[in-house]
Amino acid sequence: MDLKSSARAVRENAHAPYSNFKVGAALRSISGAVYVGCNVENVAYPEGTCAEAGAIAAMIAAGDREIAEAYIVADSPEPVPPCGGCRQKLAEFAESSVPVTLATVDGAEFQTTVGDLLPGAFDAGHMERR
């Protein structure tokens, strides 16, 4: 299955009883495997966990460590970028040049990269002492 179809399908599984804002994400790792995630809200944390975080967790659980491409879809008027936390998570597991497609359920798409989503990303190099 391609990333677009995978993200759209998993979006239907989102648990969003508070916001009614379902998001689906699909990642292709450098191994070629596709991992999916959807947002999950709960009463204690109504903003929930993000779709991108779920897909990254699935990738890590399967033993992959590097993202080659990402696709994120939501039912919004315009494509919606990931939250700040998910931008950092994407930057942790993807090169800055990795393509990211942001999409709506109506078919609008915006092409960007991990680096454009999070310029100046914090990484392990910032913790090195000289």
Q: Which residues are catalytic?
A: 52
Q: Is 94 annotated as a binding residue?
A: no
Q: Is 83 annotated as a binding residue?
A: yes
Q: Is 43 annotated as a binding residue?
A: yes
d(CA 46, CA 52) in angstroms, rounded, equals 17
- Alpha-helix runs per DSSP H in the chain: 3-11, 51-61, 84-93, 114-117
Q: Is 35 annotated as a binding residue?
A: no
Q: Is 38 annotated as a binding residue?
A: no
> Which residue, 62, 112, 66, 64, is CA-closest to 89?
66
Residue numbers in the known binding site for substrate are 39-45
